[in-house]
Amino acid sequence: MLVVLSDQLGVSVGDLFLGALIPGLLLAGAYALYVLVVAFFKPSTAPPLPLAVRQISPWELLRRTLKAIVPPVLLIFVVLGSIFFGIATPTEAGAVGAVGACGLAALNGRLTGKLLHDAAHATAVVTGVVLIILFCSSFFGLVFDALGGKTLITNLLVNLPGGYLTFLVVANLVIFAMGVFLEFIEISFIAMPLLVPAAQALGIDMVWFGVVMALNLQTAFISPPVGFSLFYLQSVAPKTISTKEIHRSALPFMGIQLVVLLLVIVFPQTVSWLVERSLQ
C-alpha cells in the first residue's frame, strides 16, 4: 500500500516507510495490549497451547519458535532495510524478497517446480489486474482533468469552511467509505490524485498525509459490512466460525485502529520524527 501511495503522493518510498514505522509500532503495541487484557479477564478466549506442545521442554519450544519466526523476520528486515537505507529501490527490494523467499522454501524442502509455477501464475494475474486498473484510472484522470474536474474538486476542498481541519475530516471520511468496499489499488489511483492537489495547496506534509490515509484504509479493510481483510480471514478460518462472528469480533480492533489514527492526526511528530532524523 505504501509503495503505491508514495507514487501518487510524490514522496520517497523510504520516507513513507520511515514515517509509518512509529504508527505501525503503536498499532501493534495496542493490539498486543488488548490481547493481554482480554486474555487476563477472559482466559477462555485465549486457550493454552495443545497438551502435546506443552509437554516438550522449554528450550525445545524456544528452538521451534525461533526457527519459525527468525528466518521470515530477517527476510522482512532485509527487504525493508534496503529501502530504508537507500540501498535498493522498491522494485529491487521486491526482487531481493523473492529470491530470499525461494531460499527459505529451499531450506524447508518445499521449493518445487509446481510452487514456482503457481507463484509465477499468481504474480502474473495480480500484475495484469494492477496494470488494467492503472490504465483505466489514468484514462479517467486525463479525461476528468481535461474537463476541469480536478481543478473543480481542488478548489472545492481548499475552500471548505474550516480549511485544513475540514479537509482532513472530509478526506478521511471519503477514503474510509471507499475502503470498506474497494481495494487500495483502485483508491490510490482514482481517489488520491483528487485529494493530493488540495493537500499540497493547504501546506499539508505529504508523508504524514500518506501515513494517515494508510491507517485509514487499514481500518476500512476490517470494517463491516464488507471489509476485504475479514473475507480473507474467513477463507482460512475453521468452518465452525461464521462470517457474523468474524465481523462482530473485528469491532474492538476497529476501535483500536481509530484511536491510533487519531493519535497520529493529533501528534504528527509520531510520523515526522524518524524522517527528520534520517535527513540529518
Q: Could you read off the pLDDT of 247-275 as tens digits, one per residue?
A: 888 889 999 999 999 999 888 887 777 66
Q: Which is nearest to 263 in space by CA: 2, 5, 9, 29?
A: 29
pLDDT at 256: 92
Residue 276 DSSP code: H
For the ranges 166-170, 171-175, 182-186, 196-200, the lowest mean pLDDT is seen at 182-186
Q: How confident is the model at residue 280 (pLDDT cuts 50, 70, 90)?
A: low
Q: Which residues contact 243 (CB under 8 A, 6 or more apart)?
A: 230, 231, 234
d(C-alpha 193, C-alpha 145), whole Å: 10
pLDDT tens track for 22-57: 899 999 999 999 999 999 998 888 878 777 777 788
At residue 279, the pLDDT reads 61
Which residues are within 8 A (CB) of 47 and not within 5 positions of it... i.e. 6 or more apart? none
Mean pLDDT of the residues in the chain: 85
Q: Are 28 and 220 in contact (CB under 8 A)?
A: no
How many angstroms separate the CA atoms of 82 and 223, rounded? Answer: 33
Predicted pLDDT of residue 259 = 92
Measured CA distances, 158 to 190, 198, 261 (Å): 19, 6, 22
Confidence at 7, pLDDT banded by 50, 70, 90: confident
- Residues with Cβ within 8 Å of residue 254, at least 6 apart in sequence: 219, 222, 223
Q: Give the percent of the chain with pLDDT over 70.
A: 98
Complete DSSP assignment for 135-167: HHHHHHHHHHHHTTHHHHHHHHHHTSTTTHHHH
Provide mean pLDDT across the span 105-120.
Answer: 87
So what's the pLDDT on residue 37?
Answer: 92
For 109: left if phi > 0, alpha if psi spans -120 to 50, otherwise beta; the answer is left
* 253 residue type, one letter: F
What DSSP designation does 46 have?
S
Which of 81 and 198 is assigned the larger pLDDT? 198
pLDDT of residue 30: 93
Q: Which of 234, 236, 256, 255 is nearest to 245 (CA)?
A: 234
Q: What pLDDT sits at residue 27?
A: 92
